[in-house]
Amino acid sequence: MADPTEKDALFLVLGEIKGELKGIRDQIVESNLATNRRIDDLARSVEHQTESLNRRIDDHQEDTSVRFNSLETRVSSLEKHSDTNKRNAVITSGSVSTIITVASEAIKAVMR
């Protein structure tokens, strides 16, 4: 068997290795915790940015909806106004045609 000093030296080396392994294990645990904290921070940051973008998109959709509703109202109003103008144009052109016809007939009658 090994003598007591060799055993003590072996136990001393094993103790050092065990201590180093514990230190390495502690560093790995700390590194993992730090990595998880960074991941959580990043996830929260992305979540806040996504919420902000969603709010902006919702605002833009509301603005667009209001604009389109306003445009639809204006177009509808213009269409009604256009129909009135068309009717007035038909009436006016009919009246003008009648006046021209009557004037032509009057001129024909005078010239005969």
Task: Give pLDDT tens digits for 50-84.
Answer: 999 999 989 988 888 888 888 788 877 766 776 67
Q: What is the DSSP letter of 69?
A: H
Structure tokens at 89: 């144009």
Q: In percent, how much of the chain has pLDDT > 90?
A: 40
Torsion over CA: 59, 64, 67, 72 (sign) = negative
Those residues whose C-beta lies under 8 Å from the C-beta of residue 28, and which sit 6 or more positions away, are none
State the pLDDT at residue 39.
Answer: 97
Q: What is the average per-residue pLDDT within 17-29?
A: 95
